[in-house]
Amino acid sequence: MATNRFHDCLKFIHDLESGPGAPALNRQTEAALKAGATMLRYKNIQFPWRLLPEVMAVRQACRCNRVPFLVHDDILLAKALAADGVHLDTSTEADTAAIRDILGPTALVGLSIYQAQAIENLPPAVDYVQVAPAMPCLPDHEPLSGPGALEWFMKMARLPVVVSAGSDPISAREWLFRGAAGIAVTGSVAVLPAAQELAEACGCFTRTTLTIPWQDEFGLIRKLLQTVAPDFSRPGKVLRIPPGDDACLLTALANPVITTDSQREGVHFRFEWQSPLEIGEKAVAVTLSDLAASYADPVCLFINLTLPQHVAETTLTEIYSGINRALSRYGCALGGGNISSGDVLGLDLFAVGDGREGLFPLRSAAQPDHGLYCSGPLGLARAGLTALMKKDPDFPRLEACFKLPRARFDAARILADKGVGCVMDISDGLCGDAGHIADASRITIEWMLSEANMAPELLAFCAKHHCDPMEMVLAGGEDYELLFACPPDLFEAIQQELPGAHQVGRCRPFQGRRFLDLPQGVRSFQHGGA
């Protein structure tokens, strides 16, 4: 989660409480969300499992309105609810590494501090701490309170500090002015006007209406199709019969090229990191990238959606706005698709392209006298993802490389015109994808990597976070640059038209292994990998 968005979700934290005397949970939730709460947390010390459907409805309302939902202390309940994280309210000795193993590496972890000295020994991997306006110390020390205390907490914690400010808007505004990241209030503030007054003090915007989940499958299909342009100018009409019938009818293709891809929430994208528009745009780009690596012009795309109950219709229309943007960029038509319900939001994409006559690049076409080259800088997407995970906002270009990659049709046309016969796109990392070429061509690759060919932003990021840029380049994925092998003299001609291209290795006769001089421990991502 990027730092600015993380801070935004801490502005106005509303705690929900169930039990005798507490207002109805749905009433608390509606009041908090309408008031403008930026995070909801559920607390019930002795949770009765009969309340699970009611609390799941709270989680669904939060997801629909893109508000993080955390659970107090109960890690297993947080797991059962697929919560966005957990707030620890009992001990500073929590095993946060184990918590992230259970809830996932991107789970939010908050911690309440009840003794000032506890802040000096925070467990690792905590995202924020919560303190009271006045904090008791050891018996021989004076209690900490007031603005000086907050400054001390922020300095010692080096984390966002949230203040338990009760229900006084004036005090809340004062703490935020002094540097607090947010204000936390209890479920007792369940009357909408009171919650709104606190939210306004925190600078939050009220929600006049709450977003509701999608419901009507056929109505949704009609709306999504209206979002996307029906066809694009090509020699002849791409869609002779557009979406709307059982199938669409395409124009005849001399060399049809077909590829598929899948995008799953929590695996390929997260709403904490990407907007719905960015998710849709990236899904199209990464699917069409395979067509670029096959020297095929994009013709038509089909999309099957898997939709959980909590996904809002507005979220889906935004995703399709991103899809439309990418389709327009690459001159590709939408042929149709399908909708089904499921536990996790997913997009399954099926693309059709028109290939070149007599030229289809293969991974098996590399020769021992070829060089191994790349169409552009590598490691940027991996660094961008790491920046998002570390909540570092200082590298927007790296984040953009992860969020919005481009399919390199421009480079593909140059390589095709030069007759390069060995090409693939880099989706799983240079090491893994070069390994596919080595296996298919029965060669050994000798690495020839240089920091001179690495982007300055990548080197700066690695210097700041003590990362190895070579490992970022070798193991990082989702750059979607083109990896190709060809004779060195042909590469010289290619580089005249593709200045960003550079050498990453040399193809050698097979020596019993894929690579020479691969740094120890470097491996690319693969699904199901240990």
Q: Give me the pLDDT at residue 4, please.
A: 46
Q: Give me the pLDDT at residue 436, please.
A: 96
Give, rounded to a whole angstrom, the gap between the first and last alpha carbons of the chain.
25
Pick the CATH number of 363-516 from 3.30.450.40, 3.40.50.2300, 3.90.650.10, 3.30.70.20: 3.90.650.10
Q: Give me the pLDDT at residue 301, please.
A: 94
Q: Give me the pLDDT at residue 106, please.
A: 80
Q: Which residues of the chain have pLDDT under 70?
A: 1-7, 19-22, 90-94, 134-148, 166-167, 187-192, 229-237, 520-530
Q: Give me the pLDDT at residue 134, please.
A: 66
Angle at 38 between CA 36 and CA 44, to 5 degrees: 105
Task: Parse the chain into domains and list their residue ranges.
Answer: 3-201, 217-354, 363-516
Q: Give me the pLDDT at residue 3, please.
A: 40
Q: Give me the pLDDT at residue 148, please.
A: 64
Distance CA 128, CA 96 (A): 13
Q: Give me the pLDDT at residue 140, please.
A: 45
Q: Examine domains 3-201 and 217-354 and report if their fold is the same.
A: no
- The alpha helices in 75-182, defined as continuous H runs, are 75-80, 96-103, 146-157, 169-177
Q: Give me the pLDDT at residue 45, please.
A: 74
Q: Give me the pLDDT at residue 267, please.
A: 86
SS3 497: helix
Q: Give me the pLDDT at residue 69, please.
A: 94
Q: Give me the pLDDT at residue 477, please.
A: 86
- Domain spanning 3-201 has what CATH number? 3.20.20.70
**459 neighbors 508 (Cβ within 8 angstroms):** no
Distance CA 272, CA 378 (A): 24
Q: Give me the pLDDT at residue 5, please.
A: 52
Q: Give me the pLDDT at residue 521, please.
A: 60
Q: Give me the pLDDT at residue 139, please.
A: 44
For the segment 62-72, what is each residue's pLDDT rounded down to a tens digit? 988 889 999 99
Q: Give me the pLDDT at residue 202, please.
A: 83
Give me the CATH topology for the region 217-354. 60s Ribosomal Protein L30; Chain: A; (3.30.1330)
Q: Give me the pLDDT at residue 460, please.
A: 97
From the list 88, 119, 114, 118, the residue with the least C-alpha distance to 103 is 88
